[in-house]
A and B are shown apart, each in its own frame.
Chain A
């Protein structure tokens, strides 16, 4: 058990003449105070003390690293992409009746789009990945696309958000018609 010692008492004990018994008691108290050092030796000299200046240097290095990482993201985001993407046939002209819809793979088999034949607008296509948490949206038949995960609603004529948690519109897919075939040409992020 570690015993606390008042330094003032210890100092007064050393200044005033004391009998031999008191000296023995003081030595015993000092021994008991140093007892924890024997039980739990700690190499203070070998410890690396982190100073404020070390913290400042660490924060400065972190600031530089975060800038480099943000710059790397900017470079990656502005790399030219999509040069190898070719037009993909998605349906035949007249294949879809009014308010009918189909899902197709574009630009590769890991991403999908939704093609809808709207009554007054004709064919429109969007990425079917919900801009909230990436669930697949479906067409309801009433001019609205529905995300079943969190009840997000999108306008089928524009792709804009009508209701629910999504905040951004669906990416548009440009279409082209050639020789009676409908092609998906390009994804336009918005």
Chain B
């Protein structure tokens, strides 16, 4: 075993692992996997959408709770900001829910 091979073997955590195949890169970065438009790929995308929109929904629940608290406390100045942040969350949820659909279904 020469020095080059020895150095190469020491770079791997497990020398018996197969060589790493790096994903293909396009002009805008890493390309999606070969089966991303298949059933499993689409399922994963929609599952990710559901998780992200659910997180936004939880944040909006916190916002409306705080808005009600401020309203009942007689302070109206933060209410507009809370409504704007909630609008931002809704717009983000729309973007997450609708944007990948054009990529997946081509509609």
Contacts from A to B (Cβ < 8 Å): 52-53, 55-57, 59-60, 62-64, 66-67, 69-71, 73-74, 76-78, 131, 168, 171, 187, 189
Contacts and interface: CB of A to CB of B under 8 A. Distances in A.
Contacts of A59: 50, 53-54, 57, 93
Interface residues of B, number: 32
Interface of B: 43, 46-47, 49-50, 53-54, 56-57, 60-61, 63-64, 67-68, 70-71, 73-76, 79-80, 82-83, 86-87, 89-90, 93-94, 97
17 contacts: A53-B46, A56-B50, A59-B93, A60-B53, A60-B94, A63-B93, A66-B60, A66-B61, A66-B63, A67-B86, A70-B63, A70-B64, A71-B87, A73-B71, A74-B67, A74-B76, A78-B80
Contacts of B68: 73
Given A60-B94, A66-B57, A73-B67, A52 B79 contact: no
B83 to A, nearest CB: 4
B43 A52 contact: yes
B97 A60 contact: yes
Contacts of B82: 70, 73-74
A93 B47 CA distance: 71
